[in-house]
Amino acid sequence: MLGEIQSSWISFFSKKQPKTFKVKVMTMDAEMEFSCEVKWKGKDLFDLVCRTIGLRETWFFGLRYMVKDTYAWLKPDKRVLDQDVPKDSPITFHFLAKFFPEKVEDELVQEITQHLFFLQVKKQILDEEIFCSPEASVLLASYAVQAKYGDYDPNFHKPGFLAQDELLPKRVLMQYQMTPDMWEEKITAWYAEHRGIARDEAEMEYLKIAQDLDMYGVSYFSITQNKRDTELLLGVDAQGLHIYSPNSKLNPNKSFPWSGIRNISYSEKEFTIKPLEKKKDVFKFYSSQLRVNKLILQLCIGNHDLFMRRRKVDSIEVQQMKAQAKEEKARKKMERQILAREKQMREDAERAKEEMERRLFQLQDEARMANEALLRSEETADLLAEKAQIAEEEAKLLAHKAAEAEQERQRLEVAAIKTKEEKRLMEQKMREAEQLAVKLVEQSERRSKEADHLKQDLNEAKDAERRAKQKLLEISKTTYQAAPACAGPPVSPDSDASADGSFLRMDFKDSDMKRLSMEIERERLEYMERSKHLQDQLKELKSEIESLKLEEQQQAGLYTLLTEPQRSVAPGRSRHSSRSWRQPSVDRAPVLHGCSAPASRSRARGLSPGVNPDGVQKVASAESL
């Protein structure tokens, strides 16, 4: 019973709600999901996608899906679920360009069409489905960067801003030993030259360069020729059919333009191309899969239809689209110009604002500096007032000190006069002392000479006395020896007394000479000591005189400073410190101590008292004996 109720409810809802299926459509820059009815054909789903993205040039695009190891295009006149689409939920389709234009600048009208072609061709170049040289790759990358980032701004686009973008094929990156920074530098150099180009213009320039590449818009299929199973490549594009070698997709071995083909047909795996000229041979080739043959035929029909369509007058719809596109481009150009002017005006306004701000900051700084200067000037005025008061006080003090200095100058003048008189007296005493010293030196030299003469005379007297004594001894010995021999008379007492007296006299002469020599030596030593003492006193006197001269010079300089005009002392100038000066004490000339010169001269000239001046003569007489 419960099962019957459930089945009735299911049949009720199945009748009320139509059956649908989920579809996910992926474009080059977006993903969309739709809920489609079971009865929808491929054209219904395709139109829904075109309306959603706002595309009107629908004849270039199609919905592609994967079937096993190849791809297929959704047929518009057949239901979606009746085709070999995947049974997944949702069913995934790729909205891609199925046919390519011959000249992008003439055929692509809408901006969305141009943008989709740009994204698809860019992906094919990066995936190396379209061969591109390194130079062209760098140039195309610069246009891609311009389309993405706009005008180059060195302040905003710092080094490394392209690190996350894929701009060059891996083959190009591996071909040269260059770092990513070096590639970015090259791309940025081209990118900086594209300033002022809008996004749609940059994309159009990209497509203009890309359409000249050999593999642009070509769909390749593996085929074999005849029964020899010679492997070849069949290329289908907007120009016609091309036969390539398996290892070369750039230069075709043989080409069949659409204008030179009369008919294309296939029977299971065999394809036949009949040229328009009957004289040319029919070209046949074989494909291994029936699905691939259908795809080739479908692409040939579509490209041929577009080829014939380009040679005809545009339809009203296309003309309207081109007119609208032209108006849209003109409007956008005008908007860009207005935007550029506004941008320029905004930049000028910003520069003017920055200049005004800078000027404002400058004026504020100047005002602040002026206030600081005013405060400093006020402080300076107060300080100057204080200094003026201090200067007045200093002027009074200087006047007082000037009076004191004048008194001191007068006192110094008196002291200087006294000092000059004392100096004159000292010089006179010095001259007298020098004269006395000269006399003493002369007297010393004379006394030394006399002492030398006396020594010489004394030595001569000693020699004569010694010779006389010797002679006397010899005589006495001869006399005493001859007396017994001659039997002379006996010696009288008087003779003995006379002999004793002579001996006593001779002894007296010897002691007198010794005493004389001792006295002469003592006087010489005393004289030398007094001369040395006198020399020391002379040195002291000279040093005192020199010190007096130096003090006199200092007094003269001080006197010169004090006698300057009083007008040199002004208020507010540097203060002169008053110097105290004390009159130096002048020592009296030292008194020369020593014996009197006449007494010494008398001693030097004569013999010492108690010496017999006749002693020398007596000795001489004895020597004559």
What residue numbers bound the domain in which 264 lies?
219-312
- In this prediction, residue 453 has a pLDDT band, given cuts at 50, 70 and 90, of confident
Do 248 and 124 share a structural domain? no
Do 150 and 123 share a structural domain? yes
Task: Examine residue 27 and state whether it is found in any structural domain, yes or no.
Answer: yes
pLDDT at residue 99 in the model: 93
Task: Examine residue 399 and state whether it is found in any structural domain, yes or no.
Answer: no
- Secondary structure class of 485 (helix, strand, coil): helix
Do 410 and 285 share a structural domain? no
Q: What is the arithmetic mean of pLDDT over 387-398? A: 91
Domain stop point among 279, 312, 345: 312
Q: What CATH number does the domain containing 184 carry?
A: 1.20.80.10
Do 238 and 205 share a structural domain? no
Task: Examine residue 14 and state whether it is found in any structural domain, yes or no.
Answer: no
pLDDT at residue 562 in the model: 56
Task: Examine residue 349 and state whether it is found in any structural domain, yes or no.
Answer: no
C-alpha separations of 127 from 33, 244, 312, 551, 564 in Å: 26, 21, 36, 110, 106
Task: Examine residue 496 and state whether it is found in any structural domain, yes or no.
Answer: no
Report the 10 Å Cβ neighbour count for 229: 8
Q: What is the arithmetic mean of pLDDT over 385-398? A: 91
Comparing 564 with 210, which gets the higher pLDDT? 210
- In this prediction, residue 161 has a pLDDT band, given cuts at 50, 70 and 90, of confident
Domain stop point among 283, 312, 341: 312
Do 249 and 113 share a structural domain? no
- In this prediction, residue 477 has a pLDDT band, given cuts at 50, 70 and 90, of confident
Domain stop point among 210, 233, 256: 210
- In this prediction, residue 8 has a pLDDT band, given cuts at 50, 70 and 90, of very low
b or e along 447-462 (b: 16 or more beta carbons within 10 Å of the residue's beta carbon)? beebbeebeeebeebe
pLDDT at residue 11 in the model: 46
Task: Examine residue 328 and state whether it is found in any structural domain, yes or no.
Answer: no
Q: Which has the minimum average pLDDT: 181-190, 284-293, 496-505?
A: 496-505
The answer to whether 286 and 271 are in contact (CB under 8 A) is: yes
Confidence (pTM): 0.55
- In this prediction, residue 68 has a pLDDT band, given cuts at 50, 70 and 90, of confident
Do 155 and 49 share a structural domain? yes
pLDDT at residue 98 in the model: 92
610 Rama class: left (phi>0) / alpha (psi -120 to 50) / beta:
left
Summarize pLDDT for 554-609 with one digit per residue, the tens: 776 665 665 554 444 444 444 433 333 344 443 433 333 433 343 443 343 333 43
The answer to whether 102 and 207 are in contact (CB under 8 A) is: no
pLDDT at residue 393 in the model: 92
pLDDT at residue 452 in the model: 82
- Secondary structure class of 130 (helix, strand, coil): coil
Residues within the annotated binding site? 75-78, 294
Do 150 and 107 share a structural domain? yes
Do 188 and 243 share a structural domain? no
**Residue 354 pLDDT > 60:** yes
Do 225 and 147 share a structural domain? no
Q: What CATH number does the domain containing 258 carry?
A: 2.30.29.30
DSSP string, 80-107: TTTSS----SSEEEEEEE-S--S-HHHH
Task: Examine residue 163 and state whether it is found in any structural domain, yes or no.
Answer: yes
Comparing 508 with 547, which gets the higher pLDDT? 547
% of the chain beyond a pLDDT of 90: 26
Do 228 and 202 share a structural domain? no
Comparing 601 with 406, which gets the higher pLDDT? 406
Task: Examine residue 366 and state whether it is found in any structural domain, yes or no.
Answer: no
Do 306 and 237 share a structural domain? yes
DSSP string, 381-450: HHHHHHHHHHHHHHHHHHHHHHHHHHHHHHHHHHHHHHHHHHHHHHHHHHHHHHHHHHHHHHHHHHHHHH
Q: Which has the minimum average pLDDT: 57-61, 328-332, 475-479?
A: 475-479
| Number of domains the chain contains | 3
Q: Which has the minimum average pLDDT: 89-103, 265-279, 372-386?
A: 265-279
Do 227 and 197 share a structural domain? no
**Residue 157 pLDDT > 90:** no
